[in-house]
Chain A
């Protein structure tokens, strides 16, 4: 087995980091930060398949995240479903919605696709805010704890392992997808859609497929967030959260699964570290973002790897 590929060595390294990280997590607050990183990373790994590999933009992924969160919340809190069943049903429901929405809008390209996904995200957000009988409206709603086989899963330390495990699974899935014929089809699409179609690739099918997968990633992460935090508000469904997710993918490095993970980690951790700067927080945050994009134009990880590779020669 070659340990130098992302699919083996990279995945093993990620698993090792997740296994060893608790040694550095001195209290539940740092567990919380690690969990938030994990949740964002799961969404970003999915979103990166769409943006980085298939070359399609989505400014509406917070909508899927929100559908997942509220789907789980409503089914388990209002209708008394077991959380595991609620999670599965919600994920299936979101996949269906993504399929129905994806078919028409993925025929659009560039700015038009951005607009369409943006509109979709905002519509979901409006529905969640206004259907206050079900969703609790702008003030949000409480969500019961996740139970599995009669055991209640609560607390940061339990959720750390659940999220960590899910992240490894998500990365493993993404890495394998990229190396599969479907993944090569996606990359061909990114290079040239016409070229790909001429080579016999069903462009719409491939695009819709990856759109649905990335929506499911977001939905599962949303469901888990809802159960983990026990309370959700429409803030997580907002347009700004969608932008945040895209930024993480671009910051970490497009078309790099581990880049997406690092982007999520950096942009989740940074505000927590910078908050001690008070009013200068946003200035420093902006400066870090701008300089990263200037000095690491391909995103954090790919640019670093490139620099290291050059140095070695």
Chain B
């Protein structure tokens, strides 16, 4: 090997690395309040990360146009973690160490969130996650909060509705994703409390395009009165279609993981009559006038649809709630001091977001209950509120 040539090459590389590092350091010396985000804007969970990213951008702009927070402008520093926990961790480190953000709002999936938890705990920085699973906030972690309802709550809400409809024996079908598996486990756990018996438990793979076999098995299980599908992505749409093709003639429940218009588009006619628990924002206009979430939901829907010419999903709503909870906490704390902002977030009370009315406490870092988790039914290709 030619040593001097190699040496010169390495020298140049080193110089470049140093220059980049210095540029980064200089960048970190401005004044605005920095909101850090790492989201799955691309990749398999893009349907979560994309609306979240758009929502954060839009509201940071809006808040700045209204004069900022604490007299300072907001600056959004966001990275695309593409659903990869390893990337999420590296970007979180970048947000904390390099960009020196004041708060982190992000983590579209549970895996990404959990990979970052040890970092934010060690660095002592408030982190509001946008992912679903219960493990994020149970056990409570000092610096970690979340805005979406947990998978356990989705099970509970569905079982409540089943009880009202006198459905006691059900079949469960779930996918292979993290969300699917976690929700399946939670449903199995809480079913006895609601006197619901899960008498069939089927699973499908990540890339499966036909779930007829699993559904036929459920259909042939004697006594099945309803089917619950724990899953997100394209799986639930296929389940819904197959369900119709098999003329199962019983209620089908989906999870809040399909709470976007995409699901109805994919499943088409078969989606008619499907029920799922979701945040109120999907049915913003149908909410009764006195509802605490009416104003915030209608405004969010209007803003988002006007700006991006796209249907809203509950996922973007979670990002809205996360950002607003952080901003409100900063206002109440009167500072961006991380420990004080954390305390203020923990003391969030009566905050009306798109996901529900948030009442956090030292033992509850989500602050939502079942009362604002709405049961929706698809009617004529649209979401309607089950009364």
Give the contacts of A1-21 with B (CB-CB under 8 A).
3-6, 9-10, 13, 17, 20-21
Q: Which of A4, A29, A308 contacts B93 (CB 8 A)?
A: A29
Q: Which residues of chain A are near B83, meaning CB under 8 Å?
A: 235
Q: Which of A26, A138, A308 has the most CB of B within 10 A?
A: A138
Residue A202 interfacial (CB < 8 Å): no
Contact at A233–B10, with CB atoms within 8 Å?
Answer: no
Say how far A277's CB is from chain B's closest CB, in angstroms: 11
Known contacts A17-B14, A33-B90, A229-B86; is-contact A138 B177 (Cβ 8 Å): yes
The answer, yes or no, to whether B62 is at the interface (CB within 8 Å) is: no
Instruction: Tell me which of B1-9, B245-253, B293-301, B305-313 binds A.
Output: B1-9
Given known contacts A229-B89, A235-B85, A13 and B111 CB-to-CB distance under 8 angstroms: no
Per-position 1/0 for A113-157, Cβ under 8 A of B:
000000000000000011010000111101000000000000000
How close is A252's CB to chain B, nearest CB, in angstroms? 12
- Judged by a CB distance under 8 angstroms, whether B350 is at the interface is no
B181 interfacial by beta-carbon distance below 8 Å: yes
A301–B10 alpha-carbon span in the complex (Å): 10
| B328 proximal to A (CB < 8 A) | no
- Given known A13-B10, A139-B111, contact A305–B2 (CB-CB < 8 A): yes
Interface size on A, residues (CB 8 A): 50
B110 at the interface (CB under 8 A from A): yes
Task: Decide if B25 touches A130 in the complex (CB within 8 Å).
Answer: no
Interface residues on B, range: 35 or more
Q: Could you say which residues of chain A place their CB within 8 Å of the CB of B10?
A: 13, 17
Q: Are A26's CB and B22's CB within 8 A? A: yes
Which of B14, B18, B90, B115 is within 8 Å of A272, CB to CB?
A: B90
Q: Is the interface of A mostly helix, strand, loop or mixed?
A: helix
B256 to chain A: closest CB distance in Å?
17
Main secondary structure of the interface of B (DSSP, over half): helix
CA distance A129 to B93 in the complex (A): 26
Are B97 and A28 in contact, with the CB atoms below 8 A?
Answer: yes
Asked if A233 meets B93 with Cβ closer than 8 Å, knowing A10-B1, A130-B176, the reply is: no
User: Which residues of A from 261 to 292 have beta carbons under 8 Å from B?
Assistant: 262, 265, 269, 272-273, 275, 278, 281-282
CA gap between A20 and B11 in the complex, in Å = 11
A273 CB contacts on chain B under 8 angstroms? 20
* A233: nearest chain-B partner, CB-CB: B85
Residues of A within 8 A of B98 (CB): 27, 29-30
Whether A24 is near chain B, meaning CB under 8 Å from some CB there, is: yes
Do B79 and A235 touch (CB < 8 A)?
Answer: no
Report Cα–Cα, A17/B117, bound state, in Å.
32
Q: Which residues in A have some Cβ–Cβ distance to B below 8 Å?
A: 3-6, 9-10, 13, 17, 20-21, 24-30, 32-33, 36, 129-130, 132, 137-140, 142, 229-233, 235-236, 258, 262, 265, 269, 272-273, 275, 278, 281-282, 301, 304-305, 308-309
With A20-B14, A231-B118, A235-B86 given, can you name 18 additional A-B contacts, CB distance below 8 Å? A4-B1, A10-B3, A21-B14, A24-B14, A24-B18, A28-B93, A30-B24, A137-B181, A138-B177, A139-B178, A140-B115, A232-B85, A233-B84, A275-B91, A281-B80, A301-B9, A304-B9, A308-B2
6 closest A-B pairs by beta carbon, nearest first, are A138-B178, A308-B5, A139-B178, A29-B97, A233-B85, A24-B18
Task: Enumerate chain B interface residues (CB-CB to A < 8 A).
Answer: 1-3, 5-7, 9-10, 13-14, 17-18, 20-22, 24-25, 42, 79-80, 83-86, 89-91, 93-94, 96-98, 109-111, 114-115, 117-118, 133, 135, 176-178, 181-182
What are 24 A-B pairs with beta-carbon distances under 8 A? A4-B3, A6-B1, A13-B3, A13-B7, A21-B14, A21-B17, A24-B18, A29-B96, A32-B93, A32-B97, A132-B181, A139-B135, A139-B181, A139-B182, A140-B111, A229-B86, A229-B115, A231-B89, A231-B115, A258-B6, A305-B2, A308-B2, A309-B2, A309-B5
